[in-house]
Amino acid sequence: MLGRGLKRKLSDYEENMAGLSSAFDSSRSLPYPLKRQLVLNMCLTKLQTYKMLVEPNLHRSVLIANTVRQIQEEMRQESNQQPVNICPGIASSSHSYTGMESSAISLQLPSGISQQESNCCDLRSVEDPIENSLLIVSDDDMSSAISSILKDLDFVEDISPPTCLVPTGDDQPKFPENAGLKLEDDRQDLKGAECVFGSFEISNSTSYLKDLAIDDIFEDIDTSMYDSDFCCPPLMPPRSPSLATEEPLKNFPSCNSSSASNIQICRTDLSELDHIMEILVGS
């Protein structure tokens, strides 16, 4: 329940805004920066109000945001130029815009404002109460107000698929399936993402390498002679020796195990191997 005092203040605010707008419309003597400030404040008030709605009107929000940007740009250009002798009283104050707090301001509009002469200095008595009520807004506040409004509008879960996982360009129709829920689209997105990165994997060309164990690769290469003196037993029984040497080869133990007890056997094997080699080479 609104307290009576607060309600009166709000309706005062509305009346004063209406009064200010009609002053804007009817008075030729309001200086331009003041008019601009008034419009800016109205824009920001509206944006703040929309922000409190569950579903702000996108069309209106965009139009108001554009107006704010336009004013912002204009003010930025002005401040970049040489300082213009603007009317005293419209100095940039340290106030920052605080949105709904402005509703607590009480205005005292001088009654004769629409009849004022278009002379800046004469308006000083008029400006001050107005200027006190119009809060000067910083650039950052404006930008953040716009950004947050538009970002909030994006909260609306989008049911159409995002543009281009595959480069659609101009020749592929977009099929927004009426899945309805973003969950499904997320799944599709993930699948799509996988597809995109799937093409970068080398799995297709080199899969046979992955499938084989290291042992299998070197199956037919006997590196026992090049192994260390401590001798790892050859990984596999060598297959290359000719028939003439088969008999002594049979005496070789199975080379599968690599236990330490095989070291003795290895040494014996090696000397006999040397012997066989001598025979083979015919030395």
Residues in contact with other proteins by CB under 8 A are: 17-18, 21-22, 24-26, 35-36, 38-39, 42, 54-55, 58-60, 62-67, 69-71, 146-147, 150-151, 153-154, 156-160, 163, 168, 170-182
Smallest distance from other proteins to CB 79, Å: 18
Of 130 and 266, the one with the shorter C-beta distance to other proteins is: 130
How far apart, in whole angstroms, are the C-alpha atoms of residue 89 and residue 134? 11
Contact 2, 89 (CB under 8 A): no
| CB distance 74 to 173 below 8 Å | no
**Smallest gap from residue 110 Cβ to other proteins (A):** 18
**CB nearer to other proteins: pick between 117 and 157:** 157
Residue 133: CB minimum distance to other proteins, A: 15
The whole-angstrom separation of Cα 126 and Cα 37 is 15
The span from the CA of 104 to the CA of 6, in Å, is 8
Residue closer to other proteins by CB (options 53, 279) is: 53
Q: Compare residues 31 and 233 and give the one whose CB is closer to other proteins.
A: 31
Q: How far is the CB of 156 from other proteins (least distance, A)?
A: 6
Burial of 197 (0-12, 13-18, 19+ CB in 10 A): exposed
Query: Which of residues 23 and 249 has its CB atom nearest to other proteins in the complex?
Result: 23
Distance of alpha carbon 132 from alpha carbon 143, whole angstroms? 23
Direct distance between the N- and C-terminal alpha carbons of the chain, in angstroms, rounded to an integer: 115
Q: How many CB atoms lie within 10 A of CB 249?
A: 18
For residues 133 and 105, the answer to whether their CB atoms sit within 8 Å is yes
Q: How far is the CB of 42 from other proteins (least distance, A)?
A: 6
The total of other beta-carbon atoms located within 10 Å of residue 160's CB is 12
Select 24 or 252, whichever has its Cβ closest to other proteins: 24
Least gap, CB of 191 to other proteins (angstroms): 19
